[in-house]
């Protein structure tokens, strides 16, 4: 049971969603945008979150699309992980989403909710970082479209009242050779000890990580080392891991050393696969 009452709004346009947010904010309702509700409901139940009103984005046409516009695949923020997996238009994203929680929850989790939630893993962001995706955002200040690599710094850097409307991915990235690996402590369905998404683009390897630090990331400095063919494979991997852009935690799931051990093994296999063949997936 959710131990507090809240109002529920379901606007049908972007303008109405923003207007509703502003009115509720003025009324001190601490409004929240609502995607699949999996995090809002579970955190609400545990008293880790409180809101006086939610604004469900699911009836906004722009947030529901999943289609090609010229050379871009456009995915609305209310599209669920299951819809992305079933359409399979971006196989790496489809696969990353299919390893988040279980199938029932994937039917609810939305692209926007996974990107903007408070959970540290946000695994659906990894393919977007690798493919230099664009994010369309709307808010009281208007609409803007911005590279995800500019606005996702440990988390989405949204201004008050803004929400993610769509993700745009250039077609050229949809068919790049890729590898997705998720290592959990025990069960297949669990939070990641280490998740790596990697993609071969123009002969170079791009890699993005979740579970390694307390935020998901793609590091161009790490990629430079991974692609440094003057070094041995072992040196490339060790130098890349040394550039991890945050603290690698030691916790109940595993020690920092254990995570690095897993990273080494996974990166070794990823590089062998991407450099050894034209098409790859896991």
Residue among 74 and 164 whose Cβ is closer to ligand FAD: 164
Structure tokens at 64: 């529901």
d(CA 83, CA 133): 19
Is 44 an interacting residue with respect to ligand FAD (CB under 6 A)? no
Is residue 254 close enough to count as binding ligand FAD by CB under 6 A? no
Does residue 90 touch ligand FAD according to CB under 6 A? no
Q: Whole-angstrom Cα distance, residue 225 to residue 222?
A: 5
Closer of 105 and 231 to ligand FAD (Cβ): 105
Q: By CB under 6 A, what part of segment 137-166 binds ligand FAD?
A: 163-164
Report the relative pairing of strands 66-69 and 72-76 from DSSP bridges: antiparallel
Among 20, 73, 77, 129, indicate the residue that binds ligand FAD (CB under 6 A). 77
Q: Is the dihedral angle over the CA atoms 102, 257, 206, 35 positive or is it negative?
A: positive
Are 214 and 227 a contacting pair, CB within 8 Å?
A: no
The residue within the footprint of ligand FAD, chosen from 10, 29, 64, 108 (CB under 6 A), is 108
Q: Helices 233-242 & 256-276, crossing angle to 10 degrees?
A: 130
Half-sphere exposure of 98 (CA within 13 A, CB side): 15
Asked whether position 31 contacts ligand FAD by CB under 6 A, the answer is: no
Rounded Cα–Cα distance for residues 243 and 220 (Å): 10
- Residues 173-202 contacting ligand FAD, CB under 6 A: 191-192
Give the interface segment with ligand FAD, choosing from 4-12, 27-35, 199-207, 218-226 (CB under 6 A): 27-35
Segments of 186-238 assigned E as strands: 192-201, 204-210, 217-218
**Sole binder of ligand FAD in the list 11, 44, 113, 127 (CB under 6 A):** 113
Applying CB under 6 A, among 73, 93, 100, 226 the residue interacting with ligand FAD is: 100
Residue 14 near ligand FAD by CB under 6 A: no
**Segment contacting ligand FAD (CB under 6 A): 7-15, 32-40, 219-227, 244-252?**
32-40
Distance (Å, whole) CA 20 – CA 42: 24
The answer to whether residue 112 forms part of the interface with ligand FAD (CB under 6 A) is yes
Nearer to ligand FAD, 117 or 177 (CB): 117
Going by C-alpha positions, the residue among 40, 132, 54 that lies closest to residue 90 is 132
Residue whose CB is less far from ligand FAD, 92 or 271: 92
Phi, psi of 162 (to 5 degrees): -85, 150
Rounded distance between C-alpha atoms, residue 235 and residue 242, angstroms: 10
Question: Given candidates 11, 14, 20, 38, which one binds ligand FAD under the rule CB under 6 A?
Answer: 38
Residue ranges binding ligand FAD (CB under 6 A):
32-40, 42, 57, 77, 100-101, 105, 108-110, 112-114, 116-117, 119, 121-123, 163-164, 191-192
């Amino acid at each position: 049971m959710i131990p507090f009452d809240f109002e529920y709004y379901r606007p049908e346009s972007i303008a109405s969603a923003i207007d509703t947010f502003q009115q509720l904010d003025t009324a001190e309702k601490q409004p929240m945008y609502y995607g699949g509700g999996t995090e809002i409901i579970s955190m609400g139940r545990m008293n880790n979150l409180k809101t006086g009103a939610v604004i469900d984005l699911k009836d906004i046409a722009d947030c529901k699309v999943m289609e090609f516009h010229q050379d871009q695949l456009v995915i609305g923020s209310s599209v669920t992980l299951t819809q992305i997996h079933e359409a399979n238009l971006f196989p790496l994203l489809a696969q990353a989403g299919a390893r988040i929680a279980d199938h029932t929850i994937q039917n609810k989790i939305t692209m926007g909710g996974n990107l903007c939630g408070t959970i540290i893993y946000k695994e659906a962001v990894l393919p977007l970082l690798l493919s230099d995706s664009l994010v369309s955002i709307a808010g009281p200040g208007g609409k803007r479209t911005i590279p995800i690599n500019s606005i996702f710094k440990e988390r989405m850097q949204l201004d008050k009242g803004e929400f993610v409307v769509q993700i745009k991915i250039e077609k050229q990235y949809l068919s790049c050779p890729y590898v997705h690996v998720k290592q959990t402590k025990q069960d297949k369905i669990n939070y990641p000890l280490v998740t790596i998404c990697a993609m071969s683009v123009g002969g170079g390897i791009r890699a993005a990580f979740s579970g390694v630090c307390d935020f998901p990331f793609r590091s161009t400095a790490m990629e430079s080392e991974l692609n440094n063919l003057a070094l041995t494979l072992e040196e490339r991997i060790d130098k890349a891991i040394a550039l991890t852009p945050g603290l690698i935690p030691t916790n109940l799931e595993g020690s920092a050393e254990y995570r690095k051990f897993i990273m080494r093994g996974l990166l070794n296999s990823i590089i062998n696969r991407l450099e050894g063949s034209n098409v790859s997936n896991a």
